[in-house]
Amino acid sequence: MDRAQKEQLVDDLGQIFESSGVVVVSHYEGLTVAEMQDLRAQMREAGGAVRVAKNKLAKIALEGKPCASIAEYLTGMTVLAYSEDPVAAAKVVQEFSKGNEKLQILGGAMGENALDVAGVKAVAAMPSREELIASIVGCIGAPASNIAGAIGAPASNIASILSTVEDKAAA
């Protein structure tokens, strides 16, 4: 890798560190290519990505970034998982590490907040952006359906009362 490629990689990593909602650092020693591809596929499906980069270049890219605190985790064979959604990357890595002990979560960052292993697990337990949106829409939609039901119910009650009155009058 020549100097220009390294500079490009540092720029790419810098953009990742700045724009990501969460970055999770893990050791991946012993993972097979198929297992790594599976992790990448799961992360892509969740709206995130996985990146393996040289630790020295990643540390250079971290300088001056909000998540610079993760530099201490960049030792050994590390993989960076990141996503714009502050929960997606943590969820995928946590779930993947449950089924594959070769992937060991070291920590991460959520904006300026450093996360240890417990922090990553806590973030993974939070609902994702889509789940939150769905629950908010459900809360907003519930009163509207209740109002519609309340408006519709008296009309049916009035109709049944009128038919009862009509039946009594006819008799």
> How many Cβ atoms from other residues are within 10 Å of residue 19's Cβ?
9
d(CA 110, CA 137): 26
pLDDT score of 143: 66
* Contact by Cβ (8 Å): 31, 77: no
Per-residue pLDDT tens over the stretch 19-72:
888 899 999 988 999 999 999 999 999 889 999 989 999 999 988 888 888 889
For the chain, the structural domain boundaries read 3-126, 127-171
d(CA 18, CA 141): 36
Q: Was domain 3-126 assigned CATH 3.30.70.1730? A: yes
Per-residue pLDDT tens over the stretch 145-161:
655 555 665 656 666 66
> How many Cβ atoms from other residues are within 10 Å of residue 152's Cβ?
10
> How many Cβ atoms from other residues are within 10 Å of residue 42's Cβ?
17
**Amino acid, single-letter form, for residue 95:** E
pTM of the model: 0.71
3-state secondary structure (DSSP) of residue 94: helix
Query: Which range is least confidently modeled, 62-76, 108-122, 131-145?
Result: 131-145
Q: Residue 52 burial (CB < 10 Å; 0-12/13-18/19+)?
A: exposed
